[in-house]
Amino acid sequence: MFESAPHIFGLPIVFNVLAFAIVALITIVLVIGIRESAMTNTTMVLLKLCVLGFFVLVGWGYVRTENFHPFMPNGWAGVQTGAAIVFFAYIGFDAVSTVAEETRNPRRDLPIGIIGSLIICTIIYIVVAAVFTGIIPYDVLKQKLATEQAEPLTMALQYANIGRWANLFVGIVAFGSVVAHTAVLLVFQLGQPRIFFSMARDGLLPPSFAKVHPRFRTPYVTTILTGVAVALCAMFTSIDEMVDLTNIGTLFAFILVCIGILILRKRDPNRPRTFKTPLVPFVPILGVISCLYLMLGLPWITWIRFGLWLVVGMVVYFSYGFRRSRLL
C-alpha cells in the first residue's frame, strides 16, 4: 500500500491520525508520572500476555509439523535478517536501565527486571513463533506478506479456517496487536526523555532539557518533545521502515556501550561500580560482534538513513555539546 505514496529519503510518507492520537495519549500518561506509566504498562502487558496465550491455545490444534520443513528455507542469511528485524521486540529491555534513578533499589531490581523479563519474553516469543509457523506454510506466508498488510497472527488464524468463531478469534488477536504496539511505544517514550535529561544534566544539551515538572516530578520537557517527534513519525511514515531504522540505531548504541566498558575499565579501573559487567573483555567483545552481525543483516537503505541521522547527531554534538560538556 506504500508503493504509491510519496517518499522522502526512501521513507514512504503516509497519513495515520490514529497513530498520532495513541502517541499523544502515551505522552500525557508519561508526563503525569512514573507510577501511572508503570500501571498503564502493566495493564497492557497483562492484556498482551492473555491474547498471546489465547493465540497459542487456539492455534495449537492447527499446527502441522510438515510446515517446519525446510526449517531454515533461506539459510543462515535468512536467520541473520530475521534476527535483525525481530530485534525490535527486545529493544525495551535497555529502556529499563534509563529509569534507574526512579527505582527504589536499582542495584537489586534492575538486573532482576532486565534479565528475568528477557528470559521470559524469549520463551514466549519462541512458543508463539512455533505455533505461528506451524499453522501457515512458509511459501504461503511469503506470498501473503508480499500482497497483504495484515497482522501476522490474525493472518495465521484466518488461514487455519477455524470455523464460525474465526471472526471473533481474529478480532481478539487484532486487539492484542494494538495493545502490544502501544505498550512498546510507551516503553520507548519512557526511556528516551530520560536519556535526553541525563545528557542535558551533563551539558550535552540545553539546560531546559533537564527541567523536572514541579508537580509530577517527571522530565516533562524532553517527554513532550519526544512525544511530538514520535507522533509525527508515526503519522507520516511506515512502521516497517521505522523499525529497521530503530534497530540499526539501537544496535550501534549497544556497540558504543560495549566499547565504553572496555575503555573505562582501562582508564578508570577504580571507579565505584554498582553494576559490574562480568568476564571483561570477553562479554563486551562478544557484544560488539553480535550487534555488528545483526546490523549487517539489515537492508542497505537502512544504513544510508542511519548515516544521515548519525551526521545530524554529530553536528549537534560538535556545535553544542562538545564545548559545554561537563564530562570533558
DSSP letters, 5-50, are S-EETTEEB---HHHHHHHHHHHHHHHH-HHHHHHHHHHHHHHHHH
**Average pLDDT, stretch 85-113?**
75
Lowest mean pLDDT among 10-19, 117-126, 253-262: 10-19
User: What's the pLDDT at 263?
Assistant: 93
* Cell numbers representing residue 21 in the block: 492520537
**Average pLDDT, stretch 157-161?**
83
**Average pLDDT, stretch 174-195?**
80
User: What's the pLDDT at 12?
Assistant: 52
Higher pLDDT, 2 or 50: 50
Decide if pLDDT at 3 tops 50: no
Query: At 153, is the pLDDT very low, low, confident or very high (cuts 50, 70, 90)?
Result: confident
Q: Is the peptide bond before 281 cis (omega within 30 degrees of 0)?
A: yes
Average pLDDT over the chain reads 83
Q: In the chain, what are the domains?
A: 14-237 (1.20.1740.10), 238-328 (no CATH)
Decide if pLDDT at 100 tops 80: no
User: What's the pLDDT at 262?
Assistant: 93
Query: At 214, is the pLDDT very low, low, confident or very high (cuts 50, 70, 90)?
Result: confident
Decide if pLDDT at 217 tops 80: yes
As a whole-number percent, the residues of the chain with pLDDT over 70 amount to 91
* Pair type for strands 7-8 and 11-12: antiparallel
Distance of alpha carbon 182 from alpha carbon 172, whole angstroms: 16
Q: Which helix (H) or strand (E) holds 259?
A: helix 239-267
Q: Which helix (H) or strand (E) holds 258?
A: helix 239-267
Distance of alpha carbon 186 from alpha carbon 44, whole angstroms: 10
User: What's the pLDDT at 2?
Assistant: 46
What are the Cα distances from residue 114, in Å, to 48, 106, 108, 166, 258?
Answer: 19, 11, 11, 37, 17
**Average pLDDT, stretch 30-55?**
84
| pTM for the model | 0.75
